[in-house]
Amino acid sequence: MQNIVVTGKSGAGKQPRIDVLVSEFGLSQLSTGNIFRHYLGVFKSLGHERSPESYWDAAADGFVPDAAIRAALEPACAAKGIPVDDAVLGLKAARFVDAGLFVPDSITNALFEGAFQKHGGRGLILDGYPRTADQARFLLDAVSRAGTRLDAVLIVDNEDELIVGRTIGRRICPKCQKVFHLEFKPPKDGRLCTACDAEVIHRSDDTEEKIRTRLAEFQKKTLPAIGVLTGEGIPQVRVPGNLPVFTDEIVRASVMEALAPVLK
């Protein structure tokens, strides 16, 4: 297995399937959502008083020039020893991620390409990328430039209403990314990661309104992205996100069974 795309609605249950792929095939997870959250954290650590929205030029339908954003963030970055480019990226990502909207393709593709190249374009589980038809075409190009391939698109299916319920209670470990649910898979003492003891967080975009925005984004933009990949002959396999009994072994079996025809 060289590379596999794992896709599905946000909150469908991708992470347990990704964990199976990591342990079965020794692949590494490349998650654009995690990359964005890293930069968001960098920006938020500055305690900057202005909102990301205030750097948006509605008439131009884009951010004010980078030089203006850099100038505003530079003093705090210098004081804290933070690279100003990372903070600028975090500020830009925050405007979209916090609203449950997709980050524009130009920002996402550039960020993805850097991470993809760092791994030599192989051995990756692409999580949350591509999410638009433009990103899918960019990915096909990046794969062909790297001389590697995409082996499959694994789609995790789930119902909107189940996702809304599960996502509101979701908590994430900011250190190791382990996912919990307040009711179904509670963190230790209701707040600590069972793997590394860090205090779990409630993602800023895990509110009902923002989840529904993300679900609409999936229908409008991500389904066409999957279409671009399957149009190129990349095999598509589906697994149910919701299993009547949810154990590590049942999840593993469900993923391996779905992939069997591709692995032959």
- For position 205 contacting ligand AMP by CB under 6 A, the verdict is yes
What are 99's two structure tokens? 């609203």
Question: Which candidate, 33, 11, 18, 17, places its Cα nearest to that of 166?
Answer: 11
Is residue 253 classed as helix, strand or coil in its secondary structure? helix
For residue 7, how far is the Cα from the chain centroid? 10
Q: How far is the CB of 161 from ligand AMP (least distance, A)?
A: 18
Q: State which H helix or E strand residue 239 sits in.
A: strand 236-240
d(Cα 10, Cα 101) in Å, to the nearest integer?
11
- Quick check: 29 binds ligand AMP (CB under 6 A)? no
Stretch 76-135 residues interacting with ligand AMP (CB under 6 A): 96-97, 100-103, 108, 128-129, 131, 135
The residue (of 36 and 180) whose beta carbon lies closer to ligand AMP is 36
Please tell me the distance from the alpha carbon of residue 154 to that of residue 3, in angstroms, as a whole number. 11
> Looking at beta carbons only, is 76 or 107 nearer to ligand AMP?
107
Least Å distance between CB 129 and ligand AMP?
4
Least Å distance, CB 208 to ligand AMP, is: 14
Cβ closest to ligand AMP, residue 76 vs residue 198: 198
Nearer Cβ to ligand AMP (100/187) = 100
CB of 9 to ligand AMP, least distance (A): 9
Q: CA–CA separation, 128 vs 135, rounded Å?
A: 11
Tokens standing for 206? 């895990």
Which residue from 177, 193, 222 is spatially nearest to 10, judged by alpha carbons? 222
Strands of 124-127's sheet in order across:
28-31, 124-127, 3-8, 152-157, 236-240
Contact indicator for 38, 89 with CB cutoff of 8 Å:
no
Q: Which residues, 127 to 146, sit near ligand AMP by CB under 6 A?
A: 128-129, 131, 135
Residue 10 lies near ligand AMP (rule: CB under 6 A): yes
Of 1, 30, 36, 116, the one binding ligand AMP (CB under 6 A) is 36
Q: Are 148 and 23 in contact, with CB atoms under 8 Å apart?
A: no
Rounded to whole angstroms, the Cα distance separating 221 from 127 reads 16
Assess 180 for contact with ligand AMP (CB under 6 A). Answer: no
CB of 85 to ligand AMP, least distance (A): 19
Query: Site size for ligand AMP, by CB under 6 A?
Result: 17
Q: What CA–CA distance (Å, rounded) separates 114 from 31?
A: 13
- Residue 43 interacts with ligand AMP (CB under 6 A): yes or no: no
Q: Counting contacts by CB under 6 A, is residue 214 touching ligand AMP?
A: yes
Among 32, 148, 167, 254, contact with ligand AMP (rule: CB under 6 A): 32
Say if residue 224 is preceded by a cis peptide, omega within 30 of 0: no
Please count the residues of the chain.
Answer: 264
**The one among 13, 16, 33, 121 contacting ligand AMP by CB under 6 A:** 33
Residue 211 binds ligand AMP (CB under 6 A): no
Q: Could you list the residues that contact ligand AMP (CB under 6 A)?
A: 10, 32-33, 36, 96-97, 100-103, 108, 128-129, 131, 135, 205, 214
